[in-house]
Amino acid sequence: MNILVTGAAGFIGAHVALELLLKGHNVFGIDNLNDYYDIELKTARLKFIKRQLALKAVASRDQDPRSGTLTFLQLDIASMEPLRKIFKDHKIDRVVNLAAQAGVRYSLENPHAYIQSNIVGFTNILECCRHNSVEHLVYASSSSVYGANESMPFSVKDNVDHPLSLYAATKKSNELMAHTYSHLYDLPTTGLRFFTVYGPWGRPDMSPFLFVNAISKGLPIKVFNYGKHRRDFTYIDDIVAGVLGVLEQPARTDESWSALVPNPCTSKAPFRLYNIGNSEPIELMDFIAAIEDALGKKAQKEMLPMQPGDVPDTYADISELVDAIGYRPKMNIYDGVQHYVSWYRSYYS
C-alpha cells in the first residue's frame, strides 16, 4: 500500500515508517523538522531508516524480498495546499498521523503552536482523507486526555472532559473531530492514546533522556512530585507493533452502540479509540533505579513539587486493544532501559 506517515522524522513516526517499509509498503513521510528539539536528531532518524533499508537489501539480495520505497518531504501539515498536492499526486491508501506539537509543559509557554499543528493541521489531514477516499486514518491521541481523572487504570470508557493542559485539550479535540468525520463522511478513524513511550531515538525533552543524560554527566536530575509519580512506560517496539496492528484493521461501526448508554470509544460511525501502553505502571524512583543500574552510576536527585499540567499517575487499561488485535507488550522495563542506554551511549559518543 501507499501509506502517508506524518511526523516521520519524529520518535514514533520514524520507527513506524521503518517497519512499514520493511514490510514492503511505500511510505510517504512528511515532517516540518521544527526546532522544538534538536533538528540533527530528527535528520539522523531519517538517515537511520535509509541505512536499515540498505542493510536489508544487502543481507537478502539472493531472496529478493522487496522493501517499500521512502519518499520524504519537509512539510507542515498546517499548510493545506502542499498537503493536498501529496494526496492528489499519489494514491494514498492509509494515513498514520503522528505529526503534532508535543509536550505538556511547553503548551504553557507557546499555546499557539498547539493550535496550529494539533488543530489546524489535523483538520487538514481529515479534509485530505475525506476527499481522497482514504481507507483508514490512524492518529495519535495521548494519555494526557485523562486529565483530572483519578480512576485507575485509565479506561477508554472513562470520562475525559477535564484536561489539565492545552496539549491534552487539543488531543481530546482531535478525537471529537475524527468522530465527526467518521459520522459525516464514513471515514474510518482510529485514535491511539499513547502512554509514556521510551526507547532508542527517543525525544530529548522527555524524562528518560533527561535522566540518562544528566546521570551520565554527573549532573543532578529534577524529580517532580517528589518522586511519587507512576508512569506506564512503554517501549517503542511495543508501540510500533500496536500501531501497525491497528492500521491493518480499519475501524468499523459498532452495531451494539446505544445512544441511551453511549460507549465513548466506539460509535455507529466507523470510529475507534484505544489505549496503547504497557499496562504495568512503574514508580518513578524505580525507573530511575533501572537507569542507575544500566549506567553504573548513582543519580543526584533534586526533589521538586508537581509541575502545572502534570498528572500523578498514568496506567493504561489495554483490554480493548487486546481484544481487537491481540496486542501484548513484550519489553520489561529493565531490558528496555538497557537498550535505551546502549543507544544513548552509541549515538552521543
Give the integer Cα–Cα distance in Å for 217 and 348: 12
Query: Cell digits for 85?
Result: 498536492
Pull the grid cell for residue 156. Answer: 477508554
| C-alpha span between 283 and 151 (Å, rounded) | 17
Angle, alpha carbons 334-98-264 (nearest 5°): 90
**Phi, psi for 340 (deg, rounded to 5):** -65, -45
> Considering 146, 167, 274, 327, which one is annotated as catalytic?
167
129: helix, strand or coil? helix
Beta strands in the chain (DSSP E): 2-6, 26-31, 70-74, 94-97, 136-142, 189-194, 197-198, 220-223, 230-231, 234-235, 271-276, 282-283, 300-303
Catalytic, 167? Answer: yes
What is the residue-wise DSSP string for 269-283? SSEEEEEES-S--EE
- Cβ contact 67:56 at 8 Å: yes
Taking the C-alpha atoms of residue 28 and residue 92, their distance in angstroms, rounded to an integer, is: 9
The conformation of residue 241, written as its DSSP 8-state character, comes to: H
Q: Which residues are catalytic?
A: 167
